């Protein structure tokens, strides 16, 4: 299968590595509008060729993967579908779905598109961030598959089964709600934690000296790029605001318990938080 990947960053680049590693792509064509990233992707061997003309790159592929930030996704996907034939399959790998699916709802080739979200990533970005094994063993969400042609869905299912990934089917509304709860909020808390520590701890050397694994793990996502995350927060704004309000409420509650020295209450809340152990052992 020939695969065109549009956007050779963390996700597009890592998928290129996985597809090649598992023999799922014979030829990999890249489209990357940042010339330095395009050059680096070739140097790293992520793709066999860079094609600058979008329609030409689409036409050479059996499968097209659109792996650009969510704001660009909404504008790139329609011309990709314009250029596609009835034999080709187009997927995205984006973190929000409702806005994207609305943008192509009436497209005459909507059926060739399958909305895909592999639940994997790191705090790094760009082609340098591409790593082997990012997707293997993780969950991939397929959204609103009843809006896609059955043969296109089949191609995508076989592909991700082969990586292998666990397939999960959600409608776009449920996807955006649940990812706000389980993924997007983590990034907000981590950004806020980094801002907090940078604001309070004026001695940067002290952060370096005293940071243990625990701090590093909670603040890791704060290294993530705004170019990736602002469009996600924007497209999933209401769900993110909703879970963020709950988070503010929970933090305020912990603060109040500590303020009034209710240590029994604090213990009870932490025991309740510990319940996450049962879900994520």
Within residues 169-228, the interface with its own copies by CB under 8 A covers: 178-179, 181-183, 185-201, 203-204, 206-226
β-sheet bridge partners, residue 6: 31, 66
β-sheet bridge partners, residue 65: 5, 91
Site string for its own copies, 80-119 (x = CB under 8 A): ---------------------------------------x
| 168 near its own copies, rule: CB under 8 A | yes
Q: Are strands 113-118 and 139-143 parallel, antiparallel or unpaired?
A: antiparallel
| 266 near its own copies, rule: CB under 8 A | yes
Nearer to its own copies, 156 or 165 (CB): 165
Identified binder of its own copies from the candidate list 139, 144, 151, 173, rule CB under 8 A: 139
Strands (E), the chain: 2-6, 27-31, 49-50, 63-66, 89-92, 113-118, 139-143, 166-170
**Which range in 62-70, 147-155, 157-165, 255-263 contacts its own copies by CB under 8 A?**
255-263
* Sign of CA pseudo-dihedral 180, 183, 184, 189: positive
Peptide bond into 164 cis (omega under 30): yes
Rounded Cα distance, 97 and 183, in Å: 14
Identified binder of its own copies from the candidate list 27, 34, 138, 171, rule CB under 8 A: 138
| 132 near its own copies, rule: CB under 8 A | no
Q: What is the largest CA-CA distance in the chain?
A: 66
Nearer to its own copies, 46 or 188 (CB): 188
Q: Give the nearest distance from C-beta 158 to its own copies in angstroms.
A: 21
Nearer to its own copies, 24 or 168 (CB): 168
| Subset of 53-72 contacting its own copies (CB under 8 A) | none
Q: Helix (H, G, I), strand (E, B), or coil: what is residue 7?
A: coil
Rounded Cα distance, 12 and 232, in Å: 17
Tokens encoding 145: 């598959």
Q: Give the nearest distance from C-beta 253 to its own copies in angstroms.
A: 8
Q: Give the nearest distance from C-beta 148 to its own copies in angstroms.
A: 21
Rounded Cα distance, 179 and 193, in Å: 20
Nearer to its own copies, 53 or 256 (CB): 256
Q: Give the nearest distance from C-beta 35 to its own copies in angstroms.
A: 23
- Give whole-number Cα distances, 229 to 9, 24, 39, 87, in Å: 14, 30, 24, 33
Nearer to its own copies, 85 or 274 (CB): 274
| 22 near its own copies, rule: CB under 8 A | no
Identified binder of its own copies from the candidate list 123, 127, 171, 173, rule CB under 8 A: 123
Rounded Cα distance, 68 and 49, in Å: 18
Identified binder of its own copies from the candidate list 114, 121, 145, 163, rule CB under 8 A: 121
| 251 near its own copies, rule: CB under 8 A | yes
Strands (E), 109-243: 113-118, 139-143, 166-170
């Amino acid at each position: 299968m020939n695969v065109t990947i549009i956007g050779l960053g963390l996700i597009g680049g890592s998928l290129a590595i996985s597809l090649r590693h598992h023999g799922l792509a014979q030829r990999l064509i890249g489209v990357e509008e940042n010339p330095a990233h395009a050059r680096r992707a070739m140097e790293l061997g992520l793709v066999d060729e860079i094609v600058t003309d979008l329609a030409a790159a689409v036409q050479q592929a059996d499968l097209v993967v659109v792996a650009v930030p969510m704001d660009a996704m909404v504008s790139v996907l329609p011309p990709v579908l314009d250029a596609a034939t009835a034999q080709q399959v187009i997927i995205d790998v984006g973190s929000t779905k409702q806005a994207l699916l609305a943008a192509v709802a009436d497209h005459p080739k909507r059926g060739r598109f399958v909305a895909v979200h592999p639940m994997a990533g790191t705090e790094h970005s760009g082609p340098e961030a591409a790593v082997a094994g990012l997707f293997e063993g993780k969950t991939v969400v397929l959204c609103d598959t009843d809006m896609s042609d059955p043969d296109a869905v089949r191609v995508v299912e076989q592909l991700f089964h082969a990586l292998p990934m666990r397939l999960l089917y959600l409608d776009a509304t449920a996807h955006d709600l649940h990812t706000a709860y389980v993924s997007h909020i983590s990034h907000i808390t981590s950004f806020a934690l980094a801002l907090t520590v940078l604001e309070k701890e004026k001695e940067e050397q002290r952060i370096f000296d005293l940071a243990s694994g625990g701090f590093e793990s909670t603040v890791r996502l704060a290294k993530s790029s705004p170019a990736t995350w602002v469009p996600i927060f924007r497209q999933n704004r209401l769900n993110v605001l909703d879970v963020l309000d709950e988070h503010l409420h929970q933090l305020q509650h912990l603060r109040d318990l500590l303020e009034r020295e209710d240590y029994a209450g604090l213990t009870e809340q932490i025991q309740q938080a510990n319940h996450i152990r049962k879900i994520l052992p």
